[in-house]
Amino acid sequence: MAEFKELSPNASLSAKTVNWFENRFPTAFAAYRVHMSEYYAPKNFNFWYIFGSLALLVLVIQIVTGIFLVMHYKPDAEKAFASVEYIMRDVPWGWLIRYMHSTGASAFFIVVYLHMFRGLLYGSYRKPRELVWIFGCAIFLCLMAEAFMGYLLPWGQMSYWGAQVIVNLFAAIPGIGPDLALLIRGDYVVSDATLNRFFSFHVIAVPLVLLGLVVAHLLALHDVGSNNPDGIEIKGKGRPVDDKGHPLDGIPFHPYYTVHDIFGVAVFLFVFSAVVFFAPEMGGYFLEFNNFIPADPMVTPAHIAPVWYFTPFYSMLRAITTEMMTAVSLVVVLAVAFMWVKARLPVLAKVLVSAACLVALVLFGAFSFTGIAALAGIDAKFWGVVVMGGAVIILFFLPWLDCSEARSIRYRPTWHKYLYAVFVVNFVVLAYLGVQPPSPVGERVSQVGTFFYFGFFLLMPWWSRLGKSKPVPDRVTFKPH
């Protein structure tokens, strides 16, 4: 047993209290020192580095408000909608708890999307932080599952039919699809059994996994150290340190960044409160108007669409048609043929073959090959599910796709910034198209957007090497503010 630390009899009451706890629970104080007061983070963090803390704050908001909602919610197909109405109308401050939870769901995805984009900008997924990024992507995947299962619980029209559409997608998986969809629903249609399954996962199973991943994410981050806007390591062999061994380019996380984050939290809570009190439905994007109508299996809404944070991936799902899959197949064949020709033919022949491939691709795009695709047995619905899932899974491989010399966008070729800007615009356009009714123009735009989304990542090993990077400084650049 460790020896107790003794204080002077004249020590203050607060010092004696802290010493009493530290002597009996030293592990907690050691963890505080390792992860807060003695954890040195780069001193040049900027605005983009507050979203990780905000995500943790929103997670706490969701857990606390969820606990109070569960006290009054009934996971029963006959009573679920009425119990939500009871919370909104009769439970003291129930409307506030419900709006905080529904707004918190959207806020969670907003801060997580921004947090992931910051990692993309500054190369926070690069060595040695691959595992930090993988844990973060797993959190994102888990968060999507949590949001989808919670979306069914109000048992409104959009909840019911949205779940019906998404669960039916699993039936498109060859072989195991129908049985898998039946297992998820617990019935042949979305029913009381589905509601109970989703309630159990939403309240118990998924939050436990989510909390475990958050802890793993933070521990992995503090083991390898935080990245910074310059993408320069502040710790390790050859890095400047003071006489105590602390990095000269770092500062203690507490109190410097705790105060920094408190300011960000104050601004966030101001905006969050404004939405909760004045626009909790956010024009139908946070809470769809159809969800204020009880679920009716006999009445299908005119347009079924998921919540806004799923719409980019839903748009990719709808973009996959038989015609598009045939085009993708031809592109793959032409790409393989081009690579083979490039390796074997002289320069003039390469030019001629490349031109022929380009002409063939243009001609192919002008015609529909639906019949050929049908003969080939291509199932567009199945491939749509693959594309929707692949759009998330591909993020896990980002550390090995990026081959740029410079880690941070600050020192990459200037045109990389424009490419990232186009990627963001493309993602927003896909999100917008996902909430709109299907149309021929929207289908074409979403197909182009899907091509660009996957091309951005799959071609990254090639385009990330292009251009000349700017010189990376030896020390982090820092301007006091």
Would you list which residues are annotated within the binding site? 101, 115, 202, 217, 222
236: left (phi over 0), alpha (psi -120 to 50) or beta: left
> How many other CB atoms sit within 10 Å of the CB of residue 236?
10
Q: Are 409 and 121 in contact (CB under 8 A)?
A: yes
Output the CA–CA distances (angstroms, integers) from residue 351 to 59, 332, 341, 358, in the order listed: 56, 19, 10, 11
- Residue 160 CA, chain-centre distance (Å), reads 24
Tell me the binding residues for a ubiquinone.
222
Residue bearing tokens 């992860």: 35
DSSP 396: G
In our burial notation (b when 16+ CB lie closer than 10 A, e otherwise), range 284-293 reads eebbbebbbe
Contacts of 207 (CB under 8 A, 6+ apart): 63, 66, 146
Output the CA–CA distances (angstroms, integers) from residue 202 to 158, 214, 216, 432, in the order listed: 18, 17, 20, 27
Number of DSSP helices (H) and strands (E) in the chain, helices first:
20, 2
Q: Look up residue 96 and give its two tokens.
A: 């506030």
Output the CA–CA distances (angstroms, integers) from residue 278 to 90, 268, 272, in the order listed: 20, 15, 10
Distance CA 297, CA 454 (A): 36
Q: Which of 365, 292, 328, 341 is nearest to 450 (CA)?
A: 328
Tell me the binding residues for heme b.
101, 115, 202, 217
